[in-house]
Amino acid sequence: MPSPEFPLLERDREQAVLSAMIGELGSARPSVVTVTGEPGLGQNALLHWATARAEQAGLRVLTARATPAEDQLRYGVVAQLLTGEDRDLAPRLFLAQDQSGGGLPGLGGLLTAARDRPTLLVVQDVQWLDVASLRWLEALVRRLPRVPLALLASSTGAAITRPEWSVGTSLTSVVSTIELALPPLTASGTADAVRAVCGTPGDAAFTAAVADATRGNPAVLHDALERFTREGHQPRAEYVEHLRALTTEVVGDHAAKALSELRDPAAVAALRALAVCGDLLDFPLVCGLAGPHAVPEARLRAALQASGLTTLKDGAPYIRDSVVRARVLEEMPAADRADLYARAARLAQRVAADDQGIADLLLLARPVGAPWAVDTLRRGFTAALRGGHRERAAGYLARALDEPLDAETRARVEFQLASVEMVSVPAAAERRLHGLIRTPGTGLRSRAVDLCLLGGDTRSARLALAENAGLSEPAGDDGPRERPHRGRADPEPLTPPRAPGTHAAAHCPSTTRAEALPESPSLAEQHEMTALLRIGHSLRHDETELDILPAPALPDHSHSPAVAGLRAWQHAVAGAHIDEARRLARAALAPDPDGRPPLVVPRLFACRTLLLTDDGDEVETRIAEMLSEAHRERSSIAVAHLLCVRADLHIRHGRPDAAGRDLAAAEAELPPASRHPLYLPYWIALNVVADLQRGRIDRAAETAARPVPRLAQECATTGYLLFAQGVLARVRDDPYQAREYFRAAGRWLLRFGCHNPAELPWRSLAAEAGHTLGDSEEALRLAREELSLARRWGASSTLGRAELGLAMVVADQRVEHLRAAVATLSEAPARTDYTRAVLELASAERDEADRRSVVSLSTAGSILPGDLAATLLADTAGHDGRPRPTPPAAAARPAPQVPAAWRGLSDAEREAAVLVTRGLGNREIATILSVTTRTVELRLSGVYRKLRIRGREELRALAQGSEGS
Is the predicted pLDDT of residue 483 greater than 60, yes or no? no
Instruction: List b or e across 313-337, with b for residues whose CB sees 16 or more CB atoms inside 10 angstroms.
Output: eeeebbbebebbbebbbeebeeeeb
Burial of residue 657, with CB atoms counted within 10 A of its CB: 0-12 exposed, 13-18 middle, 19 or more buried: exposed
How high is the pLDDT of residue 545? 52
Full DSSP string of 331-346: TS-HHHHHHHHHHHHH
Q: What is the mean pLDDT of the chain?
A: 80
pLDDT (average), residues 786-795: 94
pLDDT classification of 521: cutoffs 50, 70, 90 = low
Is the predicted pLDDT of residue 16 greater than 50, yes or no? yes
**Picking from 91-105, 179-193, 630-644, 929-943, which range would have the lowest pLDDT averaged per residue?**
91-105
**What three-state secondary structure class fits 151?**
strand
Q: Are 665 and 643 in contact (CB under 8 A)?
A: yes
Q: Are 623 and 606 in contact (CB under 8 A)?
A: no
How high is the pLDDT of residue 963? 46
For 199, half-sphere exposure in the C-beta direction (CA atoms, 13 angstrom radius) is 7
pLDDT classification of 602: cutoffs 50, 70, 90 = very high
How high is the pLDDT of residue 115? 85
Is the predicted pLDDT of residue 704 greater than 50, yes or no? yes
Is the predicted pLDDT of residue 509 greater than 50, yes or no? no
Residue 61 sits at φ, ψ, to 5 deg, of: -120, 125
Is the predicted pLDDT of residue 477 greater than 60, yes or no? no
Distance CA 92, CA 105 (A): 8
| Alpha helices (runs of H) in 515-615, residue ranges in sequence order | 521-538, 561-574, 578-589, 600-612
How high is the pLDDT of residue 261? 78
Tell which residue, 821, 849, 866, 962, has the closest CA to residue 905.
962
Q: Are 435 and 413 in contact (CB under 8 A)?
A: no
**What three-state secondary structure class fits 430?**
helix
The string of pLDDT tens digits covering residues 532-548 is 888 888 876 554 455 55
> Across 36-40, 72-76, 188-192, 661-665, which has the greatest mean pLDDT?
661-665
The string of pLDDT tens digits covering residues 141-193 is 888 887 889 999 998 865 555 566 665 454 445 578 888 888 998 988 889 88
Ramachandran sector of residue 780 (left: φ over 0; alpha: ψ -120 to 50; beta: rest): alpha
- For 899-965, CATH number? 1.10.10.10
Q: Are 397 and 360 in contact (CB under 8 A)?
A: no
Which one-letter DSSP state was computed for residue 174? T
Q: Which fold has domain 677-750?
A: 1.25.40
Q: Are 429 and 455 in contact (CB under 8 A)?
A: yes
Would strands 60-65 and 119-124 be described as parallel, antiparallel, or unpaired? parallel
Please count the other Cβ atoms lying within 10 Å of the Cβ belonging to residue 204.
11
Tell which residue, 643, 506, 522, has the closest CA to residue 568.
506
pLDDT classification of 86: cutoffs 50, 70, 90 = low
> Across 267-281, 438-452, 568-582, which has the greatest mean pLDDT?
568-582
How high is the pLDDT of residue 523? 83
Query: For 562-675, which CATH class?
Result: mainly alpha
pLDDT (average), residues 760-773: 92
Would strands 311-313 and 316-318 be described as parallel, antiparallel, or unpaired? antiparallel
Q: Write the secondary structure of 89-101 as one string of H (helix), E (strand) and C (coil).
A: HHHHHHHCCCCHH
pTM of the model: 0.70
pLDDT (average), residues 248-264: 84
Q: Are 631 and 639 in contact (CB under 8 A)?
A: yes
Is the predicted pLDDT of residue 479 greater than 60, yes or no? no
The string of pLDDT tens digits covering residues 864-914 is 433 433 444 443 333 343 334 444 333 333 444 455 566 677 777 888 888
Which one-letter DSSP state was computed for residue 694? T
How high is the pLDDT of residue 754? 92
pLDDT (average), residues 833-840: 83
How high is the pLDDT of residue 325? 87
484 vs 402, higher pLDDT = 402
Tell which residue, 734, 712, 731, 730, has the closest CA to residue 721.
712
Residue 861 sits at φ, ψ, to 5 deg, of: 100, 10
Distance CA 232, CA 240 (A): 14
What architecture does CATH give domain 6-181? 3-Layer(aba) Sandwich (3.40)
